[in-house]
Chain A
Amino acid sequence: MATNEILIKELADQYGRERTSLLSILHGVADKNNFLTEEDLTVIAKELHLSGAQVFGTATFYSFLNVVPRGKYVIRVCKTISCDMKNKDEIVREIENMLKIKAGETTEDKKFTLLFTNCMGWCDKGPSMLINEIPFSDLTREKVHGIIKQYSDIED
């Protein structure tokens, strides 16, 4: 993981070695690798003169900082009330069928992870989902089929 050490040093140079920089540095690493490894967290702790437990504690608190391996595209379907009422189950089923995984799982080729998320502020246009940070709203089975297909077609 030599590359991440360099990245972490660069991020620390950019944001500073204060504890207030921690979230920005965690974001920086997660943006590049989709998730944070234990080694990343240890290197960050050393770089910021914090204990590993402090960094691990912060990293595991937040739902958008992944500390377990995730696919390149993380799909998060909103499961909170307004989207739930607009039949989010149908959207999830369509994605599960297409990717041949269940919610919570990652495809074998490590391209997609399917998760649920709590309210993301598209209640008037539900059902909705995020693929990484890109929001998609007013979903229908056909629409989500097209979106997932588009992402599937992206070459690595």
Chain B
Amino acid sequence: MNDGKKINRIDSIFKDYVDNKFDYLRMIMKMSNEEIIKDLMDSGLKGRGGAGFPTGNKWKLAAEQPSGEKFVVCNADEGEPGTFKDKEILLKVPHKVLTGMTACSKVTGAKRGYIYLRWEYKFMKDDLQKSVDEFNEVLKEMKIDFKIYIFLGAGAYVCGEESALFDSMEGMRGEPRNKPPFPTVSGFMGKPTVINNVETFATSTMILSFGGENYAKLGTDVSHGSKLFSISGDTSIPGIYELELGMTLHEFVEKFGDGDTKAVSVGGVSGALVPRKKFKDTIIGWEGVPTGGAMILFNSTRSIYRILHNYLDFFEEESCGQCTPCRIGCQQLKKGIEAVKKGEEDPSYLDTLANLSKVMNVSAKCGLGQSVMNPVLSAVNNFREELIY
């Protein structure tokens, strides 16, 4: 049994703590590169997109690359089902994202920054471009040699994977690359690149204005700070909430559930589908179930079969098709659960499917194929009857 933290709402991302939105930038540009890296390291910030690489470390690695052309890329290809917080950040506080990107350019020496905006968010492109133009103008006045551009995606979940995103920007199919080399060594156009999620850049700005040690007081020893949660499904209060990390899923469900929650997808469709009996033992964070912030709640009227089928349908469509385990695996998993449900396969076939998902986890080239295992194992292990009858 894990006590975890109580629900604690924080307001660092959407609230402004300065009179003028460019004050963050002016403040940060007075800091030394060492101070910026130290604050980020002290804060314990890990990438908010879901993969969780320490942000300070990432910036430092790119900074240590030999000078020459480098890039800063903001990943606004928020495609994980159940996630919608980056959209809100870009609509409400774009200056925090742009400031974070500029801080990164200062540390790494990059002269160009790109926001890779998913096509689904094209409706906001003109407004975002206005914010970017205004920001670029201020950079020019401050004699900062950094310019930000928007790059519009074209609809592909896999492009949220950083190396697929670079390929897409380079005019190719968004197919993930082999790693290493990692982006800090060879990213966009083969140059050292820092790629962070929208929320990570916005959070970096706030860490640099609050101080890294202050930020680290929030959260736990493993999961520092607060983060945005996108909450949807069977809840009467869906929306975006910034919460301190370290609470249990039980605490979370008490607050956001409808009193009848039977499972929660923590981290969207590529995360675990946690059953009610494990709510109390599950901490939301790196010590428990990690998440990019997507929380989808399901009550007892929902069929886990239908949910898993919807997820597999999603993966099958969004698999880039490059590596066999993911391309064929997603298809076979979907066909497999259909066959068990129809009685064409014995219920024990579910174990074969679970094994297949484990094989995908170790053999698929990128996070998409690797993470299909999470919901499949959760469903097979915890909701077996629902997949059979």
A126 at the A/B interface (Cβ < 8 Å)? Answer: yes
Which 4 residue pairs spanning A and B have beta carbons closest together? A22-B171, A62-B154, A64-B155, A124-B238
A63 at the A/B interface (Cβ < 8 Å)? Answer: yes
Docked-complex contact A119 and B232, CB < 8 angstroms: no
A131 to chain B, nearest CB (A): 10
Docked-complex contact B154 and A26, CB < 8 angstroms: yes
Interface string of A99-135 (1 = CB under 8 A from B): 0000000000000000001111111111000100111
CB neighbours of A58 from chain B (8 A): 171-173
Interface string of A63-96 (1 = CB under 8 A from B): 1110000000000000111101100000000000
B389 at the A/B interface (Cβ < 8 Å)? Answer: no
Docked-complex contact B239 and A80, CB < 8 angstroms: no
CB neighbours of B79 from chain A (8 A): 118-119
Provide a sorted-by-A list of 6 A–B residue pairs whose CB atoms are within 8 angstroms.
A23-B171, A54-B172, A81-B296, A82-B233, A82-B296, A119-B82
Give the residue among A20, A57, A64, A119 with the most B Cβ atoms within 10 A: A119
B123 to chain A, nearest CB (A): 5
For B156, the closest partner residue in chain A by CB is: A62
CB neighbours of A123 from chain B (8 A): 81-84, 230, 232-233, 238, 294, 296
Number of interface residues of A (CB under 8 A): 37
B317 at the A/B interface (Cβ < 8 Å)? Answer: yes
CB neighbours of B152 from chain A (8 A): 23-24, 27
Docked-complex contact B174 and A20, CB < 8 angstroms: no
B26 to chain A, nearest CB (A): 32
- Chain A interface residues (CB < 8 Å from chain B): 18-24, 26-27, 54, 57-58, 61-65, 79-82, 84-85, 117-126, 130, 133-135
Docked-complex contact A121 and B269, CB < 8 angstroms: no
Bound Cα distance from A65 to B81, whole angstroms:
21
Chain B's interface: helix, strand, loop or mixed, by majority?
mixed
Docked-complex contact A20 and B81, CB < 8 angstroms: no
Bound Cα distance from A23 to B166, whole angstroms:
12
Docked-complex contact A124 and B171, CB < 8 angstroms: no
B226 to chain A, nearest CB (A): 19
CB neighbours of A119 from chain B (8 A): 79-83, 157, 314
B122 at the A/B interface (Cβ < 8 Å)? Answer: yes
A23 to chain B, nearest CB (A): 6
Docked-complex contact A133 and B122, CB < 8 angstroms: yes
Docked-complex contact B172 and A19, CB < 8 angstroms: yes
Docked-complex contact B154 and A23, CB < 8 angstroms: yes
B199 at the A/B interface (Cβ < 8 Å)? Answer: no
For A60, the closest partner residue in chain B by CB is: B173
Docked-complex contact B310 and A20, CB < 8 angstroms: no
Interface string of B75-102 (1 = CB under 8 A from A): 0001111111011000000000000000
Interface string of B84-127 (1 = CB under 8 A from A): 10110000000000000000000000000000001111110000
CB neighbours of B232 from chain A (8 A): 82, 123-124, 126
Bound Cα distance from A57 to B174, whole angstroms:
10
B371 at the A/B interface (Cβ < 8 Å)? Answer: no
Which of B121, B240, B269 is the one whose CB lies under 8 Å from A81?
B269
Docked-complex contact A20 and B234, CB < 8 angstroms: no
B311 at the A/B interface (Cβ < 8 Å)? Answer: yes
Which of B83, B171, B189, B231 is the one whose CB lies under 8 Å from A121?
B83
B242 at the A/B interface (Cβ < 8 Å)? Answer: no
Q: A65-B154, A123-B84 are in contact. Are A118 and B314 (CB under 8 A)?
A: yes
Interface string of B138-151 (1 = CB under 8 A from A): 00000000000001
Interface string of B251-264 (1 = CB under 8 A from A): 00000000000000
